[in-house]
Structure 1
């Protein structure tokens, strides 16, 4: 036993030493970014870009940097045309250097693929950073150094295949070789459009917001909420914001997974979307775990309550609430199962009746004979209704799909999907369109969660949604997204907002937008939930966007 203890302590010392070395090296790398050299692109329309997270590396593409070695941060790269280089039909890139310089070239590690330049270390090229950059949808990137004297030079003039020009640095400095251990960009598949980092002009400019959560652990009103917030909706009535978040109430002394079960729907108000006051509890889940594995009435089907969506019915002059109730199982993933959408009504008439109290009217959508396998173990997992002319449509979702019904109830896959239901009124009945055979995949093929629909000034419909995490084994955009529609039925490819480019990033995993509220002068407010992995409590944030009307009108013309 004593020798085992000695071995354990010895191994611990080695591990600690390795960790300290890695930490010190990371600090060294961050403090010793390679010094840039000035250059210009000769007789070419190629744009340059700042080498940083989200940088758009190739024109005519949706490929962006999602991670890079700190030595490269802040350098200037050259945005070269994707197809010309892949096809080998490009004219050589010429750069003019004002001093002796080193060009940092990204080489994609996919041997035998003629679409990518094949380059090996030689007297003219030195491997500096193994796995130095992650670019969405593309193989791992090794960064090579090519040295040039002052003057004008063609960069790899005889090379065929795609490569990336990631920066130009001064020759008179130490360039340390290492493995930066950045991931294979093909894990981020498919590629996606990042607002402000693509060939397109952005529809929205991120103009700022709060650099820290607006509601966090210990704030007034958070007493008894162990796990923070996730999902729901914010609406503005007069000069007051009303938020109805899912409160992951949980229970003290019980592991954090229970926060997802014992939930509440709270009502919070604010005058500025920054300072919030909790007013009341709208709904409370039971937190009771299921007895059986299937969708059985023996189980408590309101064990977890989520995704409360208040909608004002002008015809009836009252607020309706649509929300999700789950059966919860302790041992089967996901523990949220067999979602049902309930509708409730405020007992107080008029626009100011938003605070309720609310009375339940009944279930409007649930698993049944018209369900399809893609709705999965979790569906129906959210619902948001909106009006188009005389019709009403509703985004409903499913998750953890079954490949076929023979996989029911335990063998589920991965995927978070949405489809449309239709009705002649907000009360229903609601019917799955096309019998729910296929989810909408034009937005994103595997992840769209909790869309909330409104209209832009030119009549375009816009839905904001959770774009999926970078974490928990997933490689998704980790940003809030939006999609557009001319008719409220057919939806465009998603664009994603990198809000951390304008506000301090206090989160690790971005989650759900709760609104897109117009404030006048084309400014919009988004209140959102996100996750800081260092703590159990999931906070709430706020950001402001500015609409570009010229781009808005151009998008409308582009739509058929």
Structure 2
């Protein structure tokens, strides 16, 4: 080997060792710190410092992002209001050894609600800047200070967070975690199993990977995977009607949302699926005008097929969404129309169709409202209440007023109710002080599907909104409860990733909440791995807590 090559190999080896040392150092910095045991002398509850933890008693503020060093430590749930207004009694902790206490301090200065940390505390060290993101609250820095005594009393006034206690020997490396401002997540929200209240549903299992995946039989020609639709169970067979984002070979992935199909899939276990047929195929033809004009193809994209069995007619009805599609104006799905179709095969086993169209039941028109926006009508799901029917319909990309029509739209995904005496219609939009329904979430509810729990409570399960794409939403499946099917309560969010391996980046639409007996329910859902074009389907099982169900019913009274 020549001296030149030897020198080159030496430099290469040195560079490799240097990079390895850096990687080891970064890995060490980002590994969880070892906790120390402690006792809370006050009667405050503790929490595990982890994603979704609610950090204050009597509040909905929860962790959405945190530095990995803090993961798994034990924090203390301080009462929100008393600490904000300075009426709190001192927090007292007891230790068996010398420790370092980690407290989170809000960066917002000169706000009397927050504890104002000053640099004149020689015993404290800033170890993590922008270390944790808590919904609705400012950025947080973490300080560590040594405690050599057996007990410690916090005399601080104003809101702060005790995130954990570590051994005095733990080496705490300082860094900037660069996590985002929690005020981007506004409003705050309730995560099942992490708030003060008991969860209605416990996640008991499910698949740790997609159940319908790219390359599986039946996925040929479906470039973009799946979104929306419904799963129902007839006898021992699951029937799934997803929106198939088919696209076109050689055309950019954005066209996957335009050239769509409604497929029919079956399964015996909600895990292994077989594609049976195509129910509908969209044209994929782009609009030639900017407005809702009959010159445009109004069935350019087809989405959100909802099968509902009509016992009176003894046949399956389908409700689905047909869009006009514009190539350049956001959103490219515009001026949705809800179509109703019927199976030509009578009886409960006629679910596979074929189906025939019976006409449009809801569309943009004189009774539309500006909040329905450029995308409305954007979904529809009917359900029976007493001797009448309600139907969730939705809108998106709202107009502030009709003066903004047809292009100047804002952001928001809203739902409201229509009513009818029959599944056939006619359907009338309900217009009252609760329209659109913001009690579930102020600006994001998408694709709700309604059923009833054993005690008669109505439950709507829906897409709780993505964290990605510039949004700061819960990124979880959500549900809302109603006693009368008309007034809906605040959404709760189901963190299935705590019990199932998270293979997705963005959680999207649940397609069902199917009772299986013994209070167990099946949820099939669509989700997105941002590294891939194909959007798969997943499945999870949850168990209903009947005691919580009854307490929720009493609360709604």
Give, in whole Å, the separation in 1 of the partners of 2:256 and 2:180: 32
Give, in whole Å, the separation in 2 of the partners of 1:171 and 1:412: 56
CA shift at 1:24, angstroms?
Answer: 6.1
Deviations 1:358-401 (A, max 9, x none): 00000000000000000000000000000000010000000000
CA shift at 1:436, angstroms?
Answer: 9.4
User: Does residue 345 in structure 1 map to residue 326 in structure 2?
Assistant: no
Contact 1:374 1:398 in 2 (8 A): yes
Contact 1:400 1:416 in 2 (8 A): yes
Q: Where do 1:516-527 residues align within 5 Å?
A: 516-527=513-524
Contact 1:128 1:178 in 2 (8 A): yes
Contact 2:453 2:459 in 1 (8 A): yes
Deviations 1:287-316 (A, max 9, x none): 000000000000000000000000000000
Give, in whole Å, the separation in 2 of the partners of 1:525 and 1:463: 14
Deviations 1:426-474 (A, max 9, x none): 0000000017983000000000000000000000000000000001000
Secondary structure of 2:479's match?
strand
Gap regions ≥5 residues in structure 2: 1-17
Give, in whole Å, the separation in 2 of the partners of 1:61 and 1:353: 49
After superposition, the Cα gap between the structure-2 partners of 1:22 and 1:490, relative to the gap in structure 1 and judged at 3 Å, is farther
Query: Hey, what does 2:117 align to over in structure 1?
Result: 119
| CA RMSD, Structure 1 to Structure 2 (Å) | 1.7
Give, in whole Å, the separation in 1 of the partners of 2:349 and 2:334: 34
Contact 1:295 1:338 in 2 (8 A): yes
Give, in whole Å, the separation in 1 of the partners of 2:101 and 2:111: 24
CA shift at 1:29, angstroms?
Answer: 2.9
Query: Hey, what does 1:34 align to over in structure 2?
Result: 33
Give, in whole Å, the separation in 2 of the partners of 1:354 and 1:69: 49
Give, in whole Å, the separation in 2 of the partners of 1:207 and 1:87: 40
Q: Where do 1:82-481 residues align within 5 Å?
A: 82-121=80-119, 122-155=121-154, 157=155, 159-434=156-431, 438-481=435-478
Query: Hey, what does 1:76 align to over in structure 2?
Result: 74
Query: Hey, what does 1:496 align to over in structure 2?
Result: 493
Gap regions ≥5 residues in structure 1: 1-17
Query: Hey, what does 2:8 align to over in structure 1?
Result: none
After superposition, the Cα gap between the structure-2 partners of 1:554 and 1:504, relative to the gap in structure 1 and judged at 3 Å, is same
Query: Hey, what does 1:8 align to over in structure 2?
Result: none
Contact 2:321 2:378 in 1 (8 A): yes
TM-score, normalised by the number of residues in structure 2? 0.95
Contact 1:371 1:435 in 2 (8 A): no
Q: Which runs of 4+ in 1 moved over 4 A?
A: 18-26
Query: Hey, what does 2:45 align to over in structure 1?
Result: 47
Contact 1:372 1:436 in 2 (8 A): no
Deviations 1:187-213 (A, max 9, x none): 000000000110111011111110000
User: What is the count of residue pairs matched by the alignment?
Assistant: 541
Contact 1:308 1:321 in 2 (8 A): yes
Secondary structure of 1:475's match?
coil
CA shift at 1:525, angstroms?
Answer: 0.3
Deviations 1:30-71 (A, max 9, x none): 3x32111111111x2211111110111110000111100011
CA shift at 1:28, angstroms?
Answer: 3.1
Give, in whole Å, the separation in 2 of the partners of 1:202 and 1:20: 45
CA shift at 1:182, angstroms?
Answer: 0.8
Secondary structure of 1:29's match?
helix
Contact 1:325 1:339 in 2 (8 A): yes
Query: Hey, what does 1:13 align to over in structure 2?
Result: none
Contact 1:419 1:436 in 2 (8 A): no
Give, in whole Å, the separation in 1 of the partners of 2:188 and 2:92: 29
Give, in whole Å, the separation in 2 of the partners of 1:437 and 1:153: 50
Give, in whole Å, the separation in 1 of the partners of 2:21 and 2:314: 65
Query: Hey, what does 1:7 align to over in structure 2?
Result: none
After superposition, the Cα gap between the structure-2 partners of 1:272 and 1:409, relative to the gap in structure 1 and judged at 3 Å, is same
CA shift at 1:153, angstroms?
Answer: 1.2
CA shift at 1:172, angstroms?
Answer: 0.9
Give, in whole Å, the separation in 2 of the partners of 1:326 and 1:546: 37
Contact 2:314 2:348 in 1 (8 A): yes
